[in-house]
Every structure is written in C-alpha cells, then in structure tokens.
Amino acid sequence: MELQLSTISFSLIISTAVLLASTTAGYPFPYPPTSTETDFIRTSCQTTRYPETCFTTLFKYSGTIKHDPSRLAMAEIHVALSNATRMAGYVSKVSRHKGSDNTTESVAIRDCSSVFGDAVDEINKSQKEMKQLGWTGESVRFKLSNVQTWMSAALTNEDTCVDGFEDVVDGHVKAEVCDRVVAVKEVTSNALALVNSYADTIQD
C-alpha cells in the first residue's frame, strides 16, 4: 500500500513537471532541467508555506540550483528581492502622486513606502550574506542566523504595510496595494523557510 502511494505521488510529480515544462516552453533555461533537479525543488518546496508559488518561481532556476539547498534558498531570496523592489517602486510612485495630505489613506501609503524600503534593504543584505557564507560550520551558522533575522524583519515590514491600511476605507488604492503585497509576502516567507531548512542541515 505504501509503495503504491509513493508510486502514485511520484508519477504525479513527474506529470506536473512535464506539464509545467511544456507550458513554460521557450523559457531561457541554462539547459533543460532534468527530472531529478525539478524533483528536488518540488520536494524542498513542500516545507514552505506556499509550495506552489515556491515551485513555479524556482523551476526556471533548476539548472543552477541542481541539488544544492543553499542555492535553492538563494534563488528564492533573489525572487523575493526583485518582487520587493518592484513593489517598493510602485508604492513610492503612488505615494508621490497622492500628495502630502494627512488622510488615513495617504498616511498608510507613506508608511508602507517607508517600510517597504526597509524590507528591500533587509532582503538585499540577506542576498549579500548568502553569497559569502564561507566554509566552516561556525561561519555558515552565524551568517545564516543573520539572514534569518533580516528575512524575518522583511516579512514583518511587509505585514506592517498591510496593517497600516486597516482603518482606511475600502477603495482602489487599498485593494491594489494589499493585493500586490500578498505575492511579495509569499516569496519572502518561502525564502525564509528555505533558509531555515538549510540552516537545520548545518553541523556545528
């Protein structure tokens, strides 16, 4: 029974990978990903809160990630950084257009713009730290704990942006900002989860 179940899920994984490969055909892969490389991403993504988002954002990097959990975490940090940067740019533009009045909406937008700028800096620092993890267990552990701290702070800042709109009456701007933050939060949360999983594998 157990064998049957795992055979079924294995073929499910394969067919999903094949389906995705065919729908994303034409993507600039370093080279066509092998099924074990995509399996690694699919399996690792199960430990995240948004496994589908995890897989769809990382699938195209499978040739670079191979079976390396640190590259996996780094790739999602990279996705989170470009997502957060784009979001910060959007909010800052809205904030400039909204003028400088003190309506709850304008205040929420200004605050969101400020905390998103911080989130971008924190994710950026995390990316740099991941690029120079070093080799000794101690060094890797120390740097990963920095990354965990910064990515958690980034996630908190993204939440703070949304919380700031709590008392703002429903409208176009509130809906648009809160909608867009959802996607950024998903990849940020996933990146943190992948860092946590990797940190768990490092020996003292």
Integer Cα distance of 123 and 82 in angstroms: 10
How near is the Cβ of 79 to ligand NAG at its closest, in Å? 6
Q: Which is nearer to ligand NAG, 124 or 152 (CB)?
A: 124
Whether 172 contacts 38, CB under 8 Å:
no
How near is the Cβ of 162 to ligand NAG at its closest, in Å? 16
Question: For ligand NAG, what does the binding mask look like between residues 114 and 143, x meaning CB under 6 A?
Answer: ------x---x-------------------
Which of the ranges 6-14, 94-102, 147-155, 159-167 carries the binding residues for ligand NAG, by CB under 6 A? 94-102
Integer Cα distance of 76 and 197 in angstroms: 13
Helix (H, G, I), strand (E, B) or coil at 63: helix
Under the criterion CB under 6 A, does residue 103 sit at the interface with ligand NAG?
A: no
For ligand NAG, the binding residue among 2, 101, 166, 170 (CB under 6 A) is 101
Question: For ligand NAG, what does the binding mask look like between residues 33 and 52, x meaning CB under 6 A?
Answer: --------------------
Under the criterion CB under 6 A, does residue 86 sit at the interface with ligand NAG?
A: yes
